[in-house]
C-alpha cells in the first residue's frame, strides 16, 4: 500500500482519503473491510461455494483495474475515472461503493446476479456488464448521464421501463432471452439498439426513437413492420430471422447498410422495395432463396444503382457498367448519374446533421434534391442522344 501511495504522489495525486476517496484513502478502508469480511483459508467445500457464488471484489483486484486519471465534477480532486474488473469470477462487488467518481466500469465475464452497488456511482457514463448471470436490467439508481450500456449475454427476459435512463445512446441487449421490445419509448437519446440473438417475433415499441443503428439479427421475426417512424435509420441488421419481404424498408431515405442474410426472401421483385433508397451502399442477401436465381447479381445491380457492396463483395466499375448496358443506358449517363448520387448523398448527410429533428425540413430538402437529380439526368440523356 505504501508503494501505491508513493506512486500516486509522484503523479501529483493527493494521498489522503478526503482528497482522493478511492485512489488511496478509501482503499485502506476497503482493504480492512475486505479482510474482515473474507473467510479464512477454506476447505474444499468452501472453495466450491466460492466458484459457484463468485468471489468478493478485493482492494488488490480493484487497484489492478483502475486507470485514467481525471478531475471530479467540481474540478478540485484528482481521481481515477475508469475501472476494469472483468474476468475475475466476481459475484460480490459491494466494494464499488467506495469509488463514487467512476465514469467507466467493466464488470464483464463474471458471475454477477445484480448490480445494486452501482447506485452509488452517480457519474457513471459507461457500463459493460456482458457475460454475467444478470436477470434484471439496470436495477440501480440512474446516474446523471449514462450513455453506453452493454448487458449482452446475460439471463434477461424482459425490458422494464427505462425512462429514468433517458440519456442512454447505445444499448446492447444481445444474447439474452427477451421476447418483446417494451420499455424503450423513454430513451429519447438512443442511437444504437442491439437486441440480437433473443426470442423476438415482432418489431414494436420503437416509434419516434432517434435510432440510427438497429440490430435485431438472430431472432424469430417474420416481417419488417412498425419502422415507419424511425426516420433516422442508417444501418439495419435483420440477418438470421424468417423474413419473407423487404417491403418494410422502402420509406427509409437514409439507409446505407441493410443486412438481410439468412432469411426467406424468394423473388427478385422484392429488390424493387429498395429502389428509391438513394443512400443504400451495402446490401447482404446471402443465404436467401433468391440468391440462387439466374442473373441475381446483375438484376440487383441494375435496380439498385447506388450499391457499392453486395453480399460481402465490392461491386466493380466494370460490373456496374455491364449491368447498366443491359438496359442500353449510355456510358455518359451512367457515369453522370453515379456522380450525381455521390453529390446528393453528401448533401443529405449535411442536412441530417443540421435538421436531424425537423421532419418537415428533412422531407422538403429531400424533395428538392430528388427533383434536381431528375433534371440533371434528363439533361444528360438529351446530351447523350
Selection from 317, 314, 383, 305 nearest residue 344 by Cα: 305
Over residues 18-31, mean pLDDT: 37
Strand bridging mode 78-84 / 66-71: antiparallel
Number of structural domains found in the chain: 2
186 and 47 within one domain: yes
Q: Work out the pLDDT band at 332, boundaries 50, 70, 90.
A: low
276 and 192 within one domain: yes
Indicate whether 131 pLDDT > 90.
yes
Q: Which three cell numbers stand for residue 119?
A: 447506485
Question: Given this model, what pLDDT does residue 363 score?
Answer: 42
Assigned domain for 182 exists: yes
Q: How far apart are CA 49 and CA 56, in angstroms?
A: 12
Domain that holds residue 278: 40-325
297 and 262 within one domain: yes
Where is the domain boundary, 325, 349, 374?
325
Question: Given this model, what pLDDT does residue 326 score?
Answer: 61
Indicate whether 175 pLDDT > 60.
yes
Q: Work out the pLDDT band at 318, boundaries 50, 70, 90.
A: confident
Q: How far apart are CA 48 and CA 26, in angstroms?
A: 30
3-state helix, strand, coil split of the chain in percent (to 5) is 35, 15, 50
CB 347 within 8 A of CB 368: no
| Lowest mean pLDDT, pick from 90-94, 177-181, 210-214, 328-332 | 328-332
Assigned domain for 121 exists: yes
Assigned domain for 352 exists: yes
Over residues 283-308, mean pLDDT: 93
Strand, coil or helix: 240: coil
Over residues 197-201, mean pLDDT: 98
Mean per-residue pLDDT of the chain: 80
341 and 312 within one domain: no
In DSSP terms, 90 is beta-bridged to 55
Over residues 208-223, mean pLDDT: 97
Over residues 97-126, mean pLDDT: 96
Assigned domain for 311 exists: yes
User: What whole-number percentage of the chain has pLDDT above 90?
Assistant: 63
Question: Given this model, what pLDDT does residue 77 score?
Answer: 86
284 and 339 within one domain: no
Question: Given this model, what pLDDT does residue 319 score?
Answer: 72
256 and 361 within one domain: no
**Which of the two residues, 353 and 188, has the higher pLDDT score?**
188
Question: Given this model, what pLDDT does residue 3 score?
Answer: 39
Q: How far apart are CA 145 and CA 124, in angstroms?
A: 7
CATH number (domain holding residue 53): 3.80.10.10
321 and 343 within one domain: no
235 and 204 within one domain: yes
Indicate whether 266 pLDDT > 90.
yes
284 and 258 within one domain: yes
150 burial type by CB count under 10 A (0-12 exposed, 13-18 middle, 19+ buried): buried
Find the largest Cα–Cα distance for the chain: 91
Assigned domain for 22 exists: no
| Lowest mean pLDDT, pick from 56-65, 141-150, 236-245, 298-307 | 298-307
Where is the domain boundary, 284, 307, 325?
325
Can you give the length of the chain in residues? Answer: 385
Q: How far apart are CA 231 and CA 81, in angstroms?
A: 36
Assigned domain for 98 exists: yes
Question: Given this model, what pLDDT does residue 72 score?
Answer: 84
Highest mean pLDDT among 34-43, 122-131, 319-328: 122-131
Assigned domain for 1 exists: no
Q: Which three cell numbers stand for residue 13?
A: 495525486
Q: How far apart are CA 294 and CA 268, in angstroms?
A: 10
Only one residue has cell 439474452, namely 176
Question: Given this model, what pLDDT does residue 325 score?
Answer: 64
Q: Which three cell numbers stand for residue 325?
A: 448496358
Assigned domain for 347 exists: yes
Indicate whether 53 pLDDT > 90.
no
239 and 116 within one domain: yes
Indicate whether 11 pLDDT > 90.
no
Question: Given this model, what pLDDT does residue 316 score?
Answer: 84
User: What whole-number percentage of the chain has pLDDT above 70?
Assistant: 70
Question: Given this model, what pLDDT does residue 356 score?
Answer: 44
154 and 116 within one domain: yes
Over residues 346-372, mean pLDDT: 45
Where is the domain boundary, 325, 343, 365?
325
340 and 318 within one domain: no
Amino acid at each position: 500500500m505504501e508503494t501505491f501511495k508513493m506512486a500516486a504522489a509522484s503523479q501529483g495525486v493527493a494521498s489522503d482519503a478526503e482528497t482522493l476517496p478511492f485512489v488511496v484513502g478509501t482503499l485502506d478502508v476497503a482493504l480492512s473491510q475486505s479482510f474482515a469480511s473474507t473467510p479464512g483459508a477454506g476447505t474444499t467445500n468452501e472453495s466450491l461455494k466460492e466458484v459457484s457464488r463468485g468471489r468478493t471484489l478485493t482492494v488488490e483486484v480493484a487497484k489492478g483495474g483502475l486507470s485514467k486519471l481525471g478531475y471530479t465534477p467540481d474540478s478540485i480532486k484528482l481521481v481515477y475515472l475508469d475501472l476494469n474488473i472483468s474476468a475475475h469470477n466476481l459475484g460480490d462487488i459491494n466494494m464499488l461503493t467506495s469509488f463514487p467518481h467512476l465514469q467507466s466500469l467493466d464488470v464483464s465475464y463474471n458471475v454477477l446476479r445484480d448490480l445494486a452497488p452501482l447506485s452509488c456511482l452517480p457519474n457513471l457514463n459507461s457500463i459493460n456488464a456482458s457475460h454475467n448471470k444478470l436477470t434484471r436490467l439496470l436495477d440501480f439508481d440512474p446516474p446523471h448521464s449514462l450513455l453506453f450500456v452493454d448487458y449482452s449475454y446475460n439471463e434477461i427476459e424482459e425490458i422494464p421501463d427505462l425512462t429514468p435512463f433517458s440519456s442512454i445512446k447505445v444499448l446492447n441487449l444481445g444474447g439474452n432471452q427477451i421476447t418483446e421490445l417494451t420499455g424503450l419509448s423513454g430513451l429519447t437519446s438512443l442511437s444504437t439498439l442491439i437486441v440480437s440473438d433473443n426470442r423476438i417475433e415482432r418489431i414494436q415499441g420503437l416509434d419516434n426513437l432517434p435510432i440510427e443503428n438497429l440490430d435485431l439479427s438472430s431472432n424469430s421475426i417474420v416481417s419488417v413492420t412498425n419502422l415507419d417512424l424511425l426516420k433516422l435509420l442508417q444501418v439495419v441488421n435483420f440477418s438470421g430471422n424468417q423474413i419473407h419481404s423487404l417491403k418494410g424498408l422502402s420509406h427509409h431515405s437514409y439507409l446505407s447498410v441493410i443486412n438481410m442474410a439468412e432469411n426467406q426472401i424468394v423473388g427478385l421483385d422484392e429488390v424493387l422495395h429498395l429502389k428509391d433508397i438513394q443512400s443504400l451502399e451495402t446490401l447482404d442477401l446471402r443465404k436467401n432463396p433468391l440468391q440462387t436465381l439466374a442473373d441475381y447479381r446483375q438484376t440487383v445491380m441494375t435496380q439498385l444503382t447506388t450499391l457499392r457492396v453486395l453480399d460481402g463483395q465490392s461491386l466493380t466499375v466494370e460490373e456496374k457498367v455491364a449491368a447498366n448496358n443491359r438496359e442500353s443506358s449510355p456510358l455518359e449517363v451512367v457515369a453522370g448519374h453515379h456522380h450525381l448520387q455521390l453529390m446528393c448523398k453528401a448533401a443529405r448527410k449535411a442536412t441530417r446533421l443540421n435538421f436531424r429533428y425537423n421532419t418537415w425540413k428533412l422531407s422538403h430538402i429531400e424533395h428538392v434534391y430528388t427533383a434536381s437529380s431528375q433534371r440533371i439526368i434528363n439533361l444528360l440523356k438529351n446530351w447523350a442522344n
